[in-house]
Amino acid sequence: MNMIERVVAGAKRAPKKTPPKEVINAGKIEQEGLKGLKQFLGYATHSIDEQVKELEDRIKWNIANDMEEKEAKEKGLSHVFIGEVFKDIGRGVGSLKSALEKIENVTGEKDLTKAVETYYEEIDDFMDEWIEDEKALGSARTLLVQALDSVPAALTGPGALTQLQQCFDLIAKACAEISKGKLKVPKIPKALEPEDPRQLGFGFTARVVARFKASR
C-alpha cells in the first residue's frame, strides 16, 4: 500500500465530526421577551402622552380661532388617533410570544406559550379606534403604567405567573378605556390569585429542580 492509499484509507476510518449542539439559555431568552414586553408598554404610554399634547395644542388653536370651548374639544378629539398604542402593546406581547416559542421544546411550557399566542392574536385583531372623551387617555395611561410595573423579571419564582396575569388584565382594561372593543384575556396556566399563600415558583427552573429531586 503506497502513501496515497494509506492516506485515503485513514480518511475513511476517521470518525466524522458532528457540529456541537446549540446550547439554549432558556432563562435568558425568557427574560429578553419580558424585557421587550416592558419596553413596548413604555412606548405605548409615550404614544398616549404625545396624543394628549397634540390634543391640548389643537384645542388651544381652535379656541384662538374663535371656536367655543365645547366645539374646540370635539374638533380636537376627532383627530386623536390611538392606533399606535395598540401596535406598541401588540409588539410587546409579540416579543414575549417569540421568546416562549423559541424555548418551548426546552421548557415544555406549551400551555403558557399558547396563552400568550392567543393574547397576541387578540390584540393584533384590534381595529384602530378614535376616542370620544379626553379623560379616557389619562385613564388608559394610568392602567398601562400599572401593567408595565406588573411585568415580572422572570417567569419563575413566587408570584411570577400571577404578575403576568395581572399585567395582561391591566392591558385589557387600558384598551377598553380607549376602544369600544374588549380584549379576551387568556388564563395564564398556574397563575393563582395574588392573595393565595400557596403561590410557588413555576416554570422551567422549578421543574428542573423537581426532576432532580425525584431522580435522587
Top pLDDT among 212 and 21 is at: 21
pLDDT of 1 above 80: no
The ranges assigned to domains in the chain are: 25-205
Contact status, residue 89 vs residue 145, Cβ threshold 8 Å: no
pLDDT of 28 above 80: yes
Round to whole Å and give the CA distance between 86 and 129.
9
DSSP string, 123-151: HHTPPP-B-S-THHHHHHHHHHHHHHHH-
At 122-140, the pLDDT tens digits run: 998 876 666 777 888 999 9
Calculate the average pLDDT of the chain.
81
Which residues fall within 8 angstroms of residue 136, CB to CB, at 6 or more apart? 177, 178
pLDDT for residue 204: 45
Please compute the mean of the pLDDT values over residues 99-119 and round it to a whole number. 93
pLDDT of 201 above 50: no
pLDDT for residue 148: 97
At 51-70, the pLDDT tens digits run: 999 989 999 999 998 899 88
Round to whole Å and give the CA distance between 120 and 173.
15
pLDDT of 14 above 60: no
Contact status, residue 39 vs residue 92, Cβ threshold 8 Å: yes
C-alpha cell at 32: 429578553
